[in-house]
């Protein structure tokens, strides 16, 4: 499916107007196809056609409003710009209510004509990109064991997971904080077909004096306060998968006991002499290099080699930035559903900002950013950033206030440009200049209003 808007379809029954429009668009390096009537133009269109339509309102046989209706039947999201004379403004407003992207009054300047056309093309590009992302998300979510990412490194990782998931081989996952190590571990379990549960343990989050009891269990009376028998995490994960996160934090004494469990496939509860056979698969995760840690004596070398049957490396988000649009779309839709908020398309400027950022918190930080955006907050603002917003310069505060006035007016009038210009009391040209300056698209407010209604 195309993801760019690279063509304009221009329709007008006046040959001189068609020629002038064609010259204007081609001088702006915009590919254009011209048609003398709506019927001929309709034959060119299909759902997903990568372009926008510009049409005169008054035409023989099929007028602009009828043409707009037929286009919406083909592709409801296709931007359509209507051209109108002075006496047809009311008709143009009706066209806006029926889903037109915008309208231009004759006579219009070439600059305004190009500006509105480029806005419509940018909007179309967003629509097509989001359709592609939704298709990609659907492909990734058909199977609960799948995970999101189309970067070559992630495709290679996905293939490797598919190859080892159904085996009983222990797996070591290496990745930075927030990169999705537990997601990979759950994928391995779901694809393994093992009938037992998936049990996650954060080795770095347990007090050292409790971790042995938590992992191996204990008998009543095994130590002070042990007034009843407890099944440990290993035993609970029998016939399933145990995920040991931050395994580098496990005390060396417990590493010896874990090694014995892996070798003998059996354990003893604290305070018991009875050996309990178990069938489990260990998936361990670390954010450090365990081989280097073992060379420094900070991690048992024999345990490292026992766990490192298969090693999976999750690349940090900064090394697979082409996955950011797909991930952000997924997290945005998930957050919008949970918070009962409308889904607002990401603008090119926003996505450029997201891809320029290094995401030290990886996928977890990206998810949080998507949630903040859905809630109407600055996606990349930290607590310190938010606290410092009051320190903006006067021009920055004026711009922020002006932008908020425009967006609120557009929201109040459902994205209707004519009504918004009237309410704000500014010339239409000035209003369009402001839209360009603040990267605001009126069509997004029409869509948001339709969704709320």
Q: What is the CATH number of the domain that holds 378?
A: 1.10.8.60
Q: Is 0.75 surpassed by the pTM of this model? A: no
What percent of the chain is helix, strand and coil (3-state, nearest 5)?
55, 10, 35
Within a domain: residue 450?
yes
Please tell me whether residues 305 and 182 are part of one structural domain.
Answer: yes
Give DSSP secondary structure letters for 31-96: -EEEESSHHHHHTT--TT-SEEEEEES--SSS-HHHHHHHHHHH-TT--EEEEE-GGGHHHHHHHH
Within a domain: residue 144?
no
Please tell me whether residues 429 and 359 are part of one structural domain.
Answer: no
- Spell out the residues 6+ positions from residue 134 whose beta carbon is closer than 8 angstroms to its own: 329
Please tell me whether residues 354 and 418 are part of one structural domain.
Answer: no
The Cα–Cα gap between 92 and 65 comes to 9
Question: Which of 255, 280, 314 delimits the end of a domain?
Answer: 314
Strand ranges in 183-270 using DSSP code E only, listed in sequence order: 198-202, 241-245, 266-267
Please give the pLDDT value at position 345.
Answer: 78
Please tell me whether residues 306 and 252 are part of one structural domain.
Answer: yes
The β-bridge relationship of strands 276-277 and 266-267 is: antiparallel
Within a domain: residue 1?
no
Look up the CATH number of the domain holding residue 398.
1.10.10
Within a domain: residue 410?
yes
Please give the pLDDT value at position 4.
Answer: 59
Please tell me whether residues 166 and 308 are part of one structural domain.
Answer: yes
Please give the pLDDT value at position 134.
Answer: 65
Please tell me whether residues 164 and 241 are part of one structural domain.
Answer: yes
Within a domain: residue 367?
yes
Say what the alpha-carbon torsion angle 22, 23, 27, 29 is, to the nearest 10 degrees.
Answer: 20
Query: Structural domain tally of the chain?
Result: 4
Cis peptide before 72 (omega within 30 of 0): no
Please tell me whether residues 305 and 419 are part of one structural domain.
Answer: no
Look up the CATH number of the domain holding residue 197.
3.40.50.300
The Cα–Cα gap between 300 and 41 comes to 72
Question: Which of 337, 357, 388 delimits the end of a domain?
Answer: 388
Please tell me whether residues 333 and 184 are part of one structural domain.
Answer: no
Which stretches of the chain drop beneath a pLDDT of 50? 1, 140-146, 383-390, 447-453
Please tell me whether residues 46 and 97 are part of one structural domain.
Answer: yes
Please tell me whether residues 74 and 135 are part of one structural domain.
Answer: yes
Look up the CATH number of the domain holding residue 23.
3.40.50.2300
Please tell me whether residues 306 and 334 are part of one structural domain.
Answer: no
Q: In Å, how far are 186, 187, 202 from 279, measured between CA atoms?
A: 18, 19, 21
Please give the pLDDT value at position 20.
Answer: 93
Please give the pLDDT value at position 449.
Answer: 46
Question: Which of 388, 408, 426 delimits the end of a domain?
Answer: 388
Q: Which helix (H) or strand (E) holds 270?
A: none
The Cα–Cα gap between 257 and 61 comes to 85
Please give the pLDDT value at position 2.
Answer: 53
Within a domain: residue 108?
yes
Within a domain: residue 396?
yes
Within a domain: residue 96?
yes
Please give the pLDDT value at position 143.
Answer: 40
> Which domain range does residue 156 map to?
152-314
Please tell me whether residues 171 and 298 are part of one structural domain.
Answer: yes
Q: Are 83 and 55 in contact (CB under 8 A)?
A: yes
Q: Which helix (H) or strand (E) holds 143?
A: none
Please give the pLDDT value at position 149.
Answer: 73
- Spell out the residues 6+ positions from residue 282 whose beta carbon is closer than 8 angstroms to its own: 170, 171, 241, 242, 244, 262, 307
């Amino acid at each position: 499916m195309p993801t760019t808007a690279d063509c304009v379809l221009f329709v007008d029954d006046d040959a001189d107007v068609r020629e002038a429009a064609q010259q204007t668009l081609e001088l702006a390096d915009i590919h254009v196809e011209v048609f003398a009537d709506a019927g001929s133009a309709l034959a060119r269109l299909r759902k997903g056609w990568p372009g926008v339509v510009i049409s005169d309102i008054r035409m023989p046989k099929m007028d602009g409003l009828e043409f707009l209706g037929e286009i919406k039947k083909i592709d409801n999201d296709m931007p359509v710009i209507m051209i109108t004379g002075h006496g047809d403004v009311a008709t143009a407003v009706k066209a806006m209510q029926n889903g037109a992207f915008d309208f231009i009054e004759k006579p219009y300047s070439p600059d305004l004509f190009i500006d509105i056309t480029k806005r419509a093309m940018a909007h179309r590009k967003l629509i097509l990109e989001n359709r592609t992302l939704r298709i990609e998300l659907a492909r990734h979510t058909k199977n609960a064991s799948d995970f999101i990412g189309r970067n070559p490194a992630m495709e290679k990782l996905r293939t490797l997971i598919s190859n080892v998931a159904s085996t009983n081989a222990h797996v070591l996952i290496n990745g930075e904080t927030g990169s999705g190590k537990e997601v990979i571990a759950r994928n391995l379990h779901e694809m393994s077909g093992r009938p037992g549960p998936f049990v996650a343990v954060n080795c770095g989050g347990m007090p050292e004096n409790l971790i042995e009891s938590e992992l191996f269990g204990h008998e009543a009376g095994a130590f002070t306060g042990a007034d009843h028998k407890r099944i440990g995490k290993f035993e609970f994960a029998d016939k399933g998968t145990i995920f040991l996160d931050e395994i580098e934090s496990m005390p060396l004494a417990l590493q010896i006991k874990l090694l014995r469990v892996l070798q003998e496939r059996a354990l003893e509860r604290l305070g018991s002499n009875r050996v309990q056979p178990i069938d489990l698969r260990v998936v361990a995760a670390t954010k450090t290099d365990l081989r280097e840690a073992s060379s420094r004596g900070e991690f048992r070398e024999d345990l490292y080699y026992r766990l490192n049957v298969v090693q999976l490396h999750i690349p940090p988000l900064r090394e697979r930035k082409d996955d950011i649009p797909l991930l952000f779309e997924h997290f945005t839709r998930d957050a919008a559903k949970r918070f009962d908020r409308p889904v607002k398309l990401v603008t090119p400027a926003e996505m450029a900002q997201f891809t320029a950022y290094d995401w030290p918190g990886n996928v977890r930080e990206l998810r949080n950013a998507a949630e903040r955006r859905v809630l109407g907050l600055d996606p990349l603002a930290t607590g310190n950033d938010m606290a410092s917003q009051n320190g903006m310069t006067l021009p920055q505060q004026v711009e922020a206030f002006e932008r908020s006035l425009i967006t609120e007016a557009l929201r109040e009038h459902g994205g209707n440009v004519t009504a918004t210009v009237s309410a704000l009391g500014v010339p239409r040209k000035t209003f369009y200049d402001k839209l360009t300056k603040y990267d605001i698209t009126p069509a997004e407010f029409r869509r948001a209003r339709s969704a709320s209604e």
